[in-house]
Amino acid sequence: MIIVGILVIPFLGGVLAWLLGRRDQQACRWVALAALLADLAFILSLWSQCGDGGHKEGARWLAEFKWTWIAPFGISIHLGADGLTILLLLLAAFLGMVAIAVSWNEIREKVGFFHFNLMLVLTGVMGVFLSLDLFLFYVFWELMLVPMYFLISIWGHEYRVYAAVKFFIFTQLGGLFMLVAVLGLYFVHGRSTGDYTFDYTALLTTRLDAGVAFWLMMGFLMAFFVKLPAVPLHTWLPDAHTEAPTAGSILLAGLLLKTGAYGIIRFVLPLFPVMSRAVAPVAMALGVAGILYGAMLAFSQKDVKRLIAYTSVSHLGFVLLGVFAGTRTALQGSIILIIAHGLSTGGLFAVAGALQERLKTRKMDSLGGLWAVMPRMGGVALFFCLASLGLPGLANFVGEFLVLAGSYAANPALTVLASVGFVASAVYSLWFIYRVFHGPRQSESGAADLDLREMAVFGIMIALIVAIGLWPQPILDTAAPALESLEYKKASPANGGALEVTGRTANVEPGARPLKTVQEAPDGIK
């Protein structure tokens, strides 16, 4: 039942915070924080129960819960967690606490309702990571949208309503494509087996015609590419990030975008192994396009939050590249980068929020010379920029290096183009530091430096980034069992030339033309 508690605790904490917020705004903050601390303890206890490499001996899931929900339609409350899930749950609980901490003084209106929506977003995100029933997965996928819409539209900045509506339309339309694909897979499986179910483990065995597999996969990819976001479906992101409150930007960058990457890893690659391999070159090209396009637009921005938003488009292009490269090393790098990006970009958005709160502006033309009056903020911002640009010894470098090393075996040309993103990230990151903290002072108004609470939050984030950069092995070991089954294998005469994924022959009907596979990459880090 521990896996159920991981979902119930943040939801109940949000409800209680909402009720208390009507009488005591300070109490609702502490309640929400305490709920996430308890949730973090649950997740850590679950992690501690794993055997060597992150899994109990012979078990597919670290923890699993199944309860029939709507039996006539084959819908159940089926939750499961493996090493990959645990890592993302830890990220969600930690960034949720960061979001509460950095909003301590920023949010002064409807504080209880704010924390209810924040906790509901976290509940939806964690539900996405835990769901092993595709109908339940869709429910949690949609659950994230409404509270995030309220976070942006009520507590956002000048054009918050426009940004919230744009965010909702893009993500809702993507979700509808996924719903059609889920229903299609449900009926195809039911007609071929007589078992109408949304259960993930059962649907893995569905045999699909190549044409049907392609269109069903595209339905999933539309939702996941919008949320990731992949170019050209990214246009909602800069507006949402720019207008969202600090906590909203942290949750968007650190968690909601990661649900898109998680969806590809958990559902697209295992459910459509052959077809995902077929579209891999196009997906990798979109990833490289995002890397270069996001970096170019980040350099041209004048708004701090908008600049950071475009860096997310660039860095998550590396994740897309690594996931579809299909080598163990690239997949490992993608997981490291998912976590590293959540920490480094979340930190940058927290810095941007602190600047907005003190100086009432995000325009870099109105800033400058702040290092002299806010040296602690300058040092923190410089660290997160160095992490973002991939400084060796920090977490982002490990992820991006592994992605490039692993994807080179799959597509050398695209990998070389992607490596330009390293140079571009150094340019826009250091340009941001110069414009905001050095150069001529644009305003004589005094501003307080980071206080003890803020330094404590940033200090923990910095320590985690350094720890992952110097010792990524625990993350790699924990995620390894979940990723090994996704690595593209060589075709062999024993399986008629079909692609082997998840220890089984890919779900393509007999007679389908086998796909050409790339040479296997090195084993990577074990």
Token pair recorded at residue 266: 């958990």
- What does residue 233 show for φ and ψ, rounded to 5 degrees? -95, 25
C-alpha distances out from residue 224 to 97, 192, 230, 236, 447, Å: 26, 27, 9, 14, 41
Residue-wise pLDDT tens digits, 254-308? 999 999 999 999 999 999 999 999 999 999 999 999 999 999 999 889 899 999 9
Banded model confidence at residue 473, pLDDT cuts 50, 70, 90: very high
pLDDT the model gives residue 59: 60
Q: What is the average per-residue pLDDT within 87-98? A: 96
SS3 string of 74-99? CEEEEEEECHHHHHHHHHHHHHHHHH
Q: Where are the alpha helices (DSSP H) in 438-487?
A: 452-470, 473-484
Model confidence at 158, pLDDT cuts 50, 70, 90, reads: confident
Portion of the chain with pLDDT greater than 90, in percent: 67
The domain locations on the chain are 279-489
**pLDDT per residue as tens digits for the range 106-151:** 888 899 999 999 999 999 999 999 999 999 999 999 999 999 999 9
- HSE, CB side, 13 Å, CA atoms: give it for residue 140: 23
CB within 8 A of 241, min separation 6: which ones? 249, 252, 253, 305, 306, 308, 309, 312, 349
**How many Cα atoms within 13 Å fall on the side-chain side of residue 371?**
15
DSSP string, 294-319: HHHHHHT--BHHHHHHHHHHHHHHHH
Looking at the predicted structure, is the pLDDT value of residue 98 above 90?
A: yes
- Return the minimum-mean-pLDDT range out of 74-83, 309-318, 357-366: 357-366
Compute the average pLDDT of residues 446-462.
90
Which amino acid is located at 437 in the chain? F
Residue 52 pLDDT > 90, yes or no?
no
Q: With 70 as the cut, is the pLDDT of residue 511 above it?
A: no
Residues facing residue 133 across a β-bridge: 199
Averaged pLDDT score across all residues of the chain? 87
Please indicate, yes or no, whether the overall pTM of this predicted structure exceeds 0.75.
yes
Higher pLDDT, 504 or 171: 171
Cα separation of 346 and 45, whole Å? 25
Task: Find out whether 76 and 133 touch, Cβ atoms under 8 Å.
Answer: yes
| pLDDT at residue 330 is higher than 60 | yes
pLDDT at residue 105, rounded to an integer = 86
Q: Please report, as a single letter, which amino acid is at residue 61.
A: W
Burial call 5-42: b when 16+ CB within 10 Å, e when fewer: ebbebbbebbbbbbebbeeebebbbebbbebbebbbeb
Local confidence band at 369 (pLDDT 50, 70, 90 cut-offs) = confident
* Nearest residue to 379 via CA among 387, 94, 96: 387
Side chain identity at residue 244, one-letter code = A
pLDDT tens, position by position, 209-247: 999 999 999 999 999 999 999 989 999 999 999 999 999
Name the least confident of 94-98, 165-169, 431-435: 431-435
Is the pLDDT reported for residue 515 higher than 50? Answer: no
Of the ranges 228-242, 382-396, 438-452, which one carries the lowest mean pLDDT score? Answer: 438-452
What local confidence, expressed as pLDDT, does residue 26 receive? 86
Report residue 442's pLDDT band, with 50, 70 and 90 as the boundaries. Answer: low
Lowest pLDDT segment from 13-17, 286-290, 476-480, 482-486: 482-486
Instruction: Give per-residue pLDDT as tens, 420-430.
Output: 988 888 889 99
Q: What is the mean pLDDT of residues 308-321?
A: 93
Taking each helix axis from N to C end, the angle separating 452-470 and 328-359, rounded to the nearest 10 degrees, works out to: 160
Contact 241, 312 (CB under 8 A): yes
Q: Comparing C-alpha atoms, which of 129, 135, 100 is closest to residue 13?
A: 100
**pLDDT interval class at 447 (50, 70, 90):** confident
Look at residue 25 in the predicted model and tell me its pLDDT: 83
